[in-house]
Chain A
């Protein structure tokens, strides 16, 4: 069993109003030095596959076909083996 940890982030060119609103709130909290806030998604999927390579392929396909929208998002992921 493998665990894929997927990060989905808005592309740099896309304005993130949610991140901006949170940034404002941080400024209201007087948290200093915060330059920018960007909000994305974190997804975990468990994969029953033969090996890590196959888990990698499946994760990649899931990201491309469904989990991320290439028009506005980028994705990265890591895969670890789960000890049962």
Chain B
């Protein structure tokens, strides 16, 4: 098999609804090996990268992502992640990563109490990660968000730790890259839109790069995120 092809696994929980978008981008646009991983499955099928997609796993009951953490597959995903496996959580996937303790903090109800479905600008705060290496540092991207609970929160010490060690990967900003209160759609601390763990293998983000990867949609700002992961293998 071509060594430049990466095996992606997209986890499907009851209520996931961005799983097919991720699958489509990886298979049809980026020509990678990608498969769905059912939440009851007890194997990751030797994938290189696990994606926890967006959606409303288990109807967002109790708290967004809380029930998904205890799906059979999450036990293996957590083991995989703790051994350094690459795990990317998008939107509901980010909420699941926080709930399972793989990433610090939590995603609270949007400050406005409204579900927001919109294009927002985010700035690449750290382009040295495996998920962002194809972007320029401080590059401004237009990426859609669609969430009711995307208000990132962590205590002061955790935020300081994230900021000091370059773990904030994306921040909501104005089109010119300025990080302002006005550009913050949901009330997230320090306009945080995406973070990575200390070992740099687990990333969570609220915006949807898979919805900005096909030229038909006239916005491919998200595609480089997936290309970063693929290029990593070639280096």
Chain A interface (Cβ < 8 Å from any Cβ of B): 13-15, 17-18, 21, 66-67, 69, 71-72
Contact = CB atoms under 8 A, between A and B. Distances in A.
Q: Which 7 A-B pairs have the closest CB atoms?
A: A71-B106, A72-B106, A17-B113, A17-B111, A69-B106, A69-B63, A21-B113
Given A69-B66, A72-B153, 14 more contacts: A15-B108, A15-B187, A17-B111, A17-B187, A18-B109, A18-B113, A21-B113, A66-B66, A67-B62, A69-B99, A69-B106, A71-B98, A71-B153, A71-B154
Contact of B109 (A17, A66, A67): A17
B62 A15 contact: no
Interface in B20-42: none
B43 interface: no
Interface of B: 62-63, 66, 70, 98-99, 104-106, 108-113, 153-155, 187
Contact of A71 (B62, B105, B113, B187): B105
Chain A interface, DSSP helix/strand/loop, else mixed: loop
28 contacts: A13-B155, A14-B108, A15-B187, A17-B109, A17-B110, A17-B111, A17-B112, A17-B113, A17-B187, A18-B109, A18-B113, A21-B113, A66-B62, A66-B66, A66-B70, A69-B63, A69-B66, A69-B99, A69-B106, A71-B98, A71-B104, A71-B105, A71-B106, A71-B153, A71-B154, A71-B155, A72-B108, A72-B153
A72 B105 CA distance: 8
A18 B99 CA distance: 21
Nearest to B154: A71
B157 to A, nearest CB: 12
A66 B62 CA distance: 9
A23 to B, nearest CB: 13
Contacts of A15: 108, 111, 187
Nearest to B156: A13
B39 to A, nearest CB: 17
Nearest to B105: A71
Contacts of B155: 13, 71
B148 to A, nearest CB: 11
- With most chain B CB atoms within 10 A of its CB, the pick from A17, A18, A21 is A17
Contacts of A67: 62
B155 to A, nearest CB: 8
